Chains A and B, each alone.
Chain A
Amino acid sequence: MIIRRLAGLGTLLLLSACASKPLYYWGNYESVLYRSMTDAGRESPSRQIERLREDVAVAAKRGLALPPGFRAHLGYLYSEVGNGELARAEFLAEKQSFPEASALMDRFLAKGTPKRSDR
C-alpha cells in the first residue's frame, strides 16, 4: 500500500520532469544499462540483445529515432556473443545516425570491441 503510493508519486515526478516531446524512443535501453552495470538482476548478453531488439522494432514501427549510443551498445553485445556481422551492421548504423561516434565506431570496425572483464 505504502510502497505503491510512494512508487506512484515517484512516477508522477518523473513524468513531469520530461513533459516535452522526447527526441528518442528509450524503451528498454536504460533498464538494460542499469541491470548490466549494477547487481540489480544481471541479464545474459543474449537476453539484453533480445530486449534491445524489441526497442528497434517498436521504434521502427512508430517512426522514432533510437538514442545516441544505443546501436553502438547493441553492436557491442552482438560482438560479445560472437556475431561479428550483426555487430558491424550496428556500428555502421551508429556512425550513420551520429557522425560524432565515428572515431569509436571505426576503431571497433577495425580492431573489434573490448572484452568483457570482471569488475
Chain B
Amino acid sequence: MKNSFGVALALLLVVGCASKPYDYTNFRKYSPRSILVLPPLNSSGDVTGSYSCLATVTRPIAEKGFYVFPVEVIDRMLKENGLPTPGEMHQASLKKISEILAPDAVLYLNVTGYGTRFSVITSNTRVTIVGRLVHAKTGTLLWEGRATANESSSAQQSDGVLGMIVNAAVAQAVNSATDRAHDICRYVSHQLFLTPDHGLLDGPYAIPKNP
C-alpha cells in the first residue's frame, strides 16, 4: 500500500551554468575579509522566502573563512534607519554603509522561485539564489553567482487517474511545509558559495590547504 504511493524524489541541481571557472581577478585584487549580507530581494512572491534564506547564508560564507556581520542585527539597524524593506536596503549608498559598518564587501542576494508549485500530478519546490559581491569602497564587482535546486515529487507508478490525484495530494502535503523550502534554501546557499571554481574564494579565516 505504502509502496504504491512511493514518491520519487529528484533533486536536480544546476550550479552556475557554465563549466568555465569564474574569473576571480577582482576578488583576488581586493581580497575582502568581511562581508555584509543584506536581506535578500525576493522576486518569488513568497514573503517568507527572503528571510528564510537569509538565515542560511551566514554559515557557508563564514565556513569559507570570512567575517560575516550578524544578519538579523544588521536587518534591525537598517530598519531603524528608515529602510523598512530589502528593496530599500539594496538602494542604500555604499558610502553610507561603509561609514557606519566598514565592511570590505557587500553581498546582494536575490531569491526567486521560493515555495511550492503544484499541478495535478506533481508538486515542485524550487529555490534559486543569485548573489553579487561588491567591494564596499569602490563598488567594483568582486564575484557573482547563481544556484538552483529543484525538488519534485511525483508518482513512481500510478493506478489510473485516482492514483495520480492521491499521489499528488500526498506530495503537496509534504512539500507545502515552509521548513521544507527552508531546507532547500540551505542547500542552495551552500552550493552558491562553496562550489569550487564558481563559489567564493577562501577568506582570511580559512585553514590553509596543504601547500
B34 near A: Cβ within 8 Å? yes
Selected from A23, A30, A38, the residue in CB contact (under 8 A) with B58 is A30
Selected from B58, B79, B104, the residue in CB contact (under 8 A) with A69 is B58
Residues of A within 8 A of B187 (CB): 10, 13-14, 17
**CA gap between A37 and B66 in the complex, in Å:** 22
A72 near B: Cβ within 8 Å? yes
Distance (Å) between the CB of B180 and the closest chain A CB?
Answer: 8
A28-43: which residues lie under 8 A (CB-CB) from chain B? 29-30, 33-34, 36-40
**CA gap between A26 and B48 in the complex, in Å:** 23
Stretch at the interface among B19-27, B70-78, B138-146, B157-165: B70-78
Residues of B within 8 A of A102 (CB): 102
Q: Are B5 and A2 in contact (CB under 8 A)?
A: yes
**CA gap between A13 and B68 in the complex, in Å:** 24
**Most chain-A CB neighbours within 10 Å: which of B81, B102, B191?**
B102
Q: Are B80 and A67 in contact (CB under 8 A)?
A: no
**CA gap between A104 and B97 in the complex, in Å:** 11
Instruction: Report if A117-B79 is in contact (Cβ < 8 Å); known contacts: A2-B7, A69-B58.
Output: yes
Selected from B9, B103, B179, the residue in CB contact (under 8 A) with A40 is B179
Selected from A22, A39, A107, A113, the residue in CB contact (under 8 A) with B63 is A22
A interface residue count range (under 10 / 10 to 19 / 20 to 34 / 35 or more): 35 or more
B90 near A: Cβ within 8 Å? no
Residues of A within 8 A of B206 (CB): 23
Selected from B67, B174, B186, B207, the residue in CB contact (under 8 A) with A98 is B67
**CA gap between A119 and B88 in the complex, in Å:** 14
B103-152: which residues lie under 8 A (CB-CB) from chain A? 103-104
**CA gap between A5 and B5 in the complex, in Å:** 12
Q: Are B191 and A76 in contact (CB under 8 A)?
A: no
Chain B interface, DSSP helix/strand/loop, else mixed: helix
Residues of A within 8 A of B94 (CB): none
Q: Are B9 and A26 in contact (CB under 8 A)?
A: no
Instruction: Report if A69-B71 is in contact (Cβ < 8 Å); known contacts: A18-B63, A33-B55.
Output: yes
Instruction: Report if A38-B51 is in contact (Cβ < 8 Å); known contacts: A69-B58, A117-B80.
Output: yes
Contact surface of A with B, Cβ cutoff 8 Å: 1-3, 5-6, 9-10, 13-14, 17-18, 21-24, 26, 29-30, 33-34, 36-40, 67-70, 72-73, 76, 98, 100-104, 107, 113-117, 119
Contact surface of B with A, Cβ cutoff 8 Å: 2, 5, 7, 9, 11, 33-34, 48, 51-52, 54-56, 58-60, 62-63, 65-73, 75-77, 79-81, 84, 100-104, 153, 170, 174, 178-180, 182-184, 186-187, 190-191, 194, 205-207
Q: Which 8 A-B residue pairs are closest in the complex by CB-CB distance?
A: A69-B70, A100-B34, A100-B67, A103-B102, A34-B55, A114-B80, A37-B51, A33-B55
Given contacts A10-B184, A18-B190, A72-B69, 17 further A-B contacts (CB under 8 A): A6-B180, A17-B191, A17-B194, A33-B58, A34-B56, A37-B52, A38-B48, A40-B52, A68-B67, A68-B69, A73-B73, A76-B72, A102-B102, A104-B102, A113-B76, A114-B79, A117-B80
